Structure 1
Amino acid sequence: MVLGGSFVFEAIGTRWQIDTAAPLEPGVRAAIAGLIEDYDALYSRFRSDSAVAALAAGGGRLELPAHGAALGRLYRRLYRLTDGSMSPLVGSVLEHQGYDAHYSFTPKGPPAPARSWDAVLDWEGPVVTASGPVTLDVGAAGKGQLVDLVGGLLTDAGHTEFLVDASGDMLHSGTTALTVGLEHPYDPARVIGTVQLRGRALCASASNRRAWGDGLHHVVDARTGTSVSTVVATWVLAADTMTADALATALFLAEPDVLAEEFAFDFVQVFSDGHARFSPTLNGALFVP
């Protein structure tokens, strides 16, 4: 990719970099900033003025934009495939563990599971209805969807060669493949391998990225209320970033063969005992330690 410029900024608590073959027009930059702000105002459980904060306060009905329907369908499929381990209701688990709006990082008690989806939540199309207070957390797929929406803005503006990188959630468009290093889960200065990214999305999830105590990190099993200890890092290549992002989390909670029954993707998993596995069709390589 011959770059015409990079647009680098901070948003939703993370670093973004958008590289394009042709420079981004000011209007496109403004549209991207507005899109991200609107999405954050919907889904951030760290903002008291967000739409999900209203659900946490008293439940009720929330009408999302059209893209909310796709997010709900994806979560419902993965809730089923993981037997309830991956759930948008995991926000209450994270808050209980200390990953709350005040970043207290102090657990409030022994692990507690999330509530059952069917007991409290209805998500039909773009409409979410909660029968009582619920803390939604769509972070396992939401940032990926937001990257896709930004990519859609770029495409609509006539850009065909670009890379959107939201701190590791990446969407590539163009004919020239990029070689991307896979960060070592225990040493950010090293890589454990590389993959080729061309016209697809690549997302990663790692237990070391948002950890705040012994055995406490952001990838939790909604059925048990505990952080996953067997898998420490995953990478997924898929056609869109929302799917890649969600599957990177789902691979902490389900076997790849189970997910492959309904999704097309390539993956790498690293386990806490040091071994790794990857899909046979992966266009990349892992390094021998």
Structure 2
Amino acid sequence: MMRKTKLFMDTVVDIQVVVTNHPRNKAAAAIDRAFEVFRKVEQACSRFSQDSEVMQATRQIQTAVKISPFLFEPLRFALEVAEVTDGMLDPTIGKVMEDHGFNQHYLTGETFHSPVSESASYQDIILDDERRTLFINKPLVIDLGAVAKGFAIDLAAHELKDFEGFIVNAGGDLFAGGLDGQGRKWKIGIQHPMHKDQVIQTIELSNEAVCTSGSYERKSPLRADVHHLINPNTKCSSNEWTSCSVISRYAFMADAFSTAAFLLPIDRGEALLSNVNLMGILIDRDLKVYRVGGDLI
């Protein structure tokens, strides 16, 4: 087994590759390419860096701006999920996130306060598939926290697809490819919402992703009762769920829909995952576990 870790997107990215039938130098090169994907996606999608592609593009109001695939694809998917959820997952939540104190770069410590006063929604973003351009109607801050990490995980997994087994783990959101070193499915633990060092459920994955959205992950530095999963309608944290884990063939889908399900009331969160044929382990604030779709254990 070869294993390397690096820091991207305010999280530790841990990549493990089974190298039984491959030269170690080939595995090392593939892992480096996988890390490079994370760097490119972060540079394209981060709202915490004023020189990122998304922040530069959104300074041009009512102007069609050509953007790279590393921004275009996750933004397009975020808008699709916004449509499916009637705006509950809205990539224009960025200014609200800033106002709650989620505006500090994890490496430099620098904080940002965007000069945006009017409200906006995902409908103020227009993408042109043919020209690959972004057009925004008014000043806004795009937050791709619900899709960018999953998108990077999938691209990284593509770089490792020739190996018999691998894991790309970005802070607990991960893709498990092939089989582990013993030729079995990868056993993945779902973190207990109240006890960081404990596992509340264990699942087995092969060529699948699991991503988790939890109220315990990131707290506002301004208010202890505010976490990073914020309802765009109320502009307050959602609190019916404590943790929502979604399993999918693609990490970008698991990432987005774990967030979307968390933001919805219990009945609608379950229904959303069922409607899009995704499996989930959802835990409410009383630690009651809801399982959606398939045999998860």
TM-score by length of 1: 0.85
**Equivalent position SS for 1:220:** coil
Match of 2:93 among 78, 90, 94: 90
Equivalent residue runs for 1:27-38 within 5 Å: 27-38=29-40
Name the aligned partner's letter for residue 199 of structure 1.
N
Deviations 1:170-209 (A, max 9, x none): 1111142122111111110222121111221011111111
Aligned position for 2:189: 181
Q: Contact conserved, 1:114 with 1:223, CA < 8 A, in 2?
A: no
Match of 1:197 among 205, 219, 224: 205
Match of 1:63 among 63, 66, 70: 66
Aligned position for 1:287: none
Q: Contact conserved, 1:89 with 1:114, CA < 8 A, in 2?
A: no
Q: Contact conserved, 2:41 with 2:152, CA < 8 A, in 1?
A: yes
Q: Shift of the alpha carbon at 1:141?
A: 1.1
Name the aligned partner's letter for residue 214 of structure 2.
A
For 2:99 and 2:57, the matched residues in 1 are separated by 17
Aligned position for 1:211: 219
Name the aligned partner's letter for residue 196 of structure 2.
P
The yes-or-no answer on 1:122 pairing with 2:126 is yes
Structure 2 regions of 5+ residues with no counterpart?
none
Aligned position for 2:233: 223
The yes-or-no answer on 1:12 pairing with 2:9 is yes
Q: Contact conserved, 2:46 with 2:52, CA < 8 A, in 1?
A: yes
**Equivalent position SS for 1:173:** strand
Equivalent residue runs for 1:129-148 within 5 Å: 129-148=135-154
Number of residue pairs matched?
273
Deviations 1:33-57 (A, max 9, x none): 3322221111111112111222444
Pair 1:67–1:48, CA change in 2 (3 A) = closer
Aligned position for 1:250: 260
Pair 1:162–1:236, CA change in 2 (3 A) = same
Match of 1:51 among 50, 53, 69: 53
For 2:57 and 2:68, the matched residues in 1 are separated by 16
Pair 1:282–1:114, CA change in 2 (3 A) = farther
Q: Percent identity?
A: 23
The yes-or-no answer on 1:152 pairing with 2:158 is yes
The yes-or-no answer on 1:168 pairing with 2:172 is yes
Instruction: Write 1 or 2 for the structure with the bigger share of strand.
Output: 1
Q: Contact conserved, 1:151 with 1:164, CA < 8 A, in 2?
A: yes
Q: Contact conserved, 1:55 with 1:133, CA < 8 A, in 2?
A: no
Name the aligned partner's letter for residue 9 of structure 2.
I
Q: Shift of the alpha carbon at 1:67?
A: 5.3
Q: Contact conserved, 2:153 with 2:168, CA < 8 A, in 1?
A: yes
Q: Contact conserved, 2:168 with 2:175, CA < 8 A, in 1?
A: yes
RMSD of aligned Cα (Å):
2.5
The yes-or-no answer on 1:265 pairing with 2:282 is no
Q: Shift of the alpha carbon at 1:145?
A: 0.5
Q: Shift of the alpha carbon at 1:86?
A: 0.7
Aligned position for 2:249: 239
TM-score by length of 2: 0.83
Pair 1:62–1:101, CA change in 2 (3 A) = farther
For 2:133 and 2:43, the matched residues in 1 are separated by 16
Which segment drifts farther, 14-23 or 122-131? 122-131
